[in-house]
Amino acid sequence: MAGNTFGTLFTITSFGESHGCCIGGVIDGCPSNLRVDYDLIQQKIKERQTNSLPYTSSRHESDDVIFLSGISNKLTTGAPIAFYIKNQDIDSSHYEANKGVLKPSHADYTYVKKYGIYDYKGSGRASARETLVRVVAGCFAMMFLQSKAIKIKAYTTQIGSIVYPKPLTQILPDADINDLHCPDKEIYQSMLNELKSTRAQNDSIGGKVSCVIENTPVGLGEPVFDKLQADLAKAMLSINAAKGFEYGSGFQSAAMKGSIHNDLFTSEFRTKTNHSGGIQAGISNGENIYFSVAFKPLASIGQNQESVNIQGEKAIYKGGGRHDVCVIPRVVPVVEAMATLVLADHLLRFNAYKIH
């Protein structure tokens, strides 16, 4: 199975399965002499856990990170940073009850056709538990970006039909006032009600996360196949349940005219508007980068669903198990992590140009 490494100079390789003994990763290309912010790592891990929330999975993992290399006296050494997290709260009973039956809209069918085998217990590599590795790696990328004053923040801007109506083009103060990372108290309550209602129906629901990157230098990104927005899109669409990506004016630009959409320059080489979303010709222009990611309703629900078994015979996939109602809010730190990995990678590539 290929495709387990992300990045060019700042890379993360992840390994492990949801119901295996552990998950983990190897970070390569992380600059040396970065002070390891263990508090940041624990904060982001906790944001992804949200174990105490009524609309998230009841699986409880301590998620203690064990580092094997690349750190000395709380400083990065420049060597590969290897780490792992043990899987402790494993319950495969629901998966055993559905053994041999293909879960609708999930990895079972494509995996068995591609590899001739699939991990029916916890979905193996297709499990969202793998994203914890990305969060840990993203913390190291964030430490690097913080040393360059680059800031990245993500917010929940939609759950089902409940939408935060304002475009998020800059980081907001004191936005972490609720467990959904929604920047509006009233909309947060409506989102919470939507999640509770969906849970009561033994169903799942989709959502959207919006992210802002500030203080990006001019020049990140390559002009053809490695455009900055293209790498951000690849990063976001690699996240479980991601279905759509847009940056800047996004899909709204299809209804606009050039005379309105063009970002006019001022004498300071700033732009009066930012429909470009901080990226022009695939390269950052110094304005805020902002983008949104749409996530589908999760395939795991509490209702029985019509399906077939691996022999192609009609069968019922039994509802139940321990699953989230929505990827929100657990995916918010994952979006941040993947954005930091892209920015860290391109910043190192940018610095390589400057050396020459």
pLDDT tens track for 316-352: 999 877 788 999 999 999 999 999 999 999 999 998 6
> Residues 206-232: what's their mean pLDDT?
97
Count, in order, helices (H) and strands (E) of the chain: 8, 16
Confidence tier at 356 by pLDDT (50, 70, 90): very low
Q: How far apart are CA 128 and CA 241, in angstroms?
A: 9
pLDDT, position 166: 92
Strand, coil or helix: what is 129? helix
Could you give the CA distance from residue 49 to residue 34 in angstroms, rounded to a whole number? 26
Residue whose C-alpha is closest to residue 337's, from 114, 92, 34, 43: 43
- Partners of residue 23 on adjacent β-strands: 16, 85
Q: Are strands 65-67 and 71-72 parallel, antiparallel or unpaired?
A: unpaired
Residue type, position 244, single letter: G
What tokens appear for 26 in the block?
Answer: 């190897």
Per-residue pLDDT, averaged over 93-113, amounts to 86
Query: Is pLDDT at 31 greater than 70 in this prediction?
Result: yes
Q: How far apart are CA 191 and CA 315, in angstroms?
A: 35
**133-183 pLDDT per residue, tens:** 999 999 999 999 999 999 999 999 999 999 999 999 999 987 567 889 999
- The pTM for the full model equals 0.94
Report d(CA 160, CA 67) in Å as an integer: 39
Q: Which CATH number fits domain 5-355: 3.40.50.1220, 3.60.150.10, 3.40.1350.10, 3.40.50.2300?
A: 3.60.150.10
Q: How far apart are CA 266 and CA 329, in angstroms?
A: 39
Helices (H), 201-269: 228-237, 258-261
pLDDT of amino acid 98: 84
* 182 phi-psi bin (left φ>0, alpha ψ -120 to 50, beta other): beta
Are the beta carbons of 24 and 126 closer than 8 angstroms? no
- State the chain's mean pLDDT as an integer: 92
